[in-house]
Structure 1
Amino acid sequence: MGNFDEINKRAQKNTGRIQQEQPDFMRAFKQLQQEGYKANALDEKTKEYVALTYAIADKCEGCIGNHVNKLIKLGATRQEISDIVAVSIVMGGGPASVYGGKALEAYDEGTEGK
């Protein structure tokens, strides 16, 4: 993962900068993460799939590398990651069609009666 290894290291270093400036906040954020990813009704692997889907749709390379690494440790296959990629493309593209319609709606409202 050459490139993603460097991206992950940079993301961790940048997070460390925030930890230096905002230690209490980052401690609370880390606790929130731990609680959020803890197995409950959904197991840890399923929660990581959800996180990876969002990371891809939101275009966060550091998040992608982090969640893929966690999924590898949890036994995810390449085909499972490929399925997540397909869902992410739908989720990244589908919402744009909804909000694109909202842009046209706003235009129509803004030009109504002019």
Structure 2
Amino acid sequence: MGNFKEINQRAQKNTGRIQETQKDFMSAFKKLQKEGYKANALDEKTKEFVALTYAIADKCEGCIGNHVNKLVKLGASREEISDIVVVSIVMGGGPASVYGGKALEAYDEAVSE
């Protein structure tokens, strides 16, 4: 794709598709995310670097845009992001909420034809 503003908007819309039918689950998931990214032994920026590593390795464009936006707000530099890219290439990972939304998007398109 490429335009991360558009990708982020689409990812949020797709996550909203899950929210429509799985309100309790998504509410619990959002609470889990909020708790997981809170500063503790690791600060928020470090936790976002970890999340970005997984997002890149799993090829989750919506996740990449989301975590890059958060990192920019937390003051991350281009060089820091580049270091994350290198680690991501070495590793691998697994977010599913954006791709779950894509499955629902595909369903919605199929039934509207």
- Report the TM-score range of the alignment, normalised by the length of the smaller protein: 0.7 to 0.9
Q: How far has the Cα of 1:51 moved from its partner?
A: 0.2
| Identical residues among aligned pairs (%) | 86
Rg larger in 1 or in 2?
1
How many residues get paired?
91
Q: C-alpha deviations, 1:48-100, integer Å up to 9, x for none?
A: 000000000111000000000000000000000001001111114xxxxxxxx
- Aligned counterpart, 2:43: 43
Which consecutive segments of 4 or more residues in structure 1 shift more than 6 A?
none
Structure 1's unaligned 5+ residue stretches are 93-114
User: 2:80 is matched with which residue?
Assistant: 80
- Let me know the Cα RMSD of the aligned residues: 0.9
Shift of 1:29: 0.4
Higher helix share: 1
Which TM-score applies when normalising by structure 2?
0.78
Quick one: higher RCO (CA 8 Å, sep 6+), 1 or 2? 2
TM-score (norm 1): 0.78
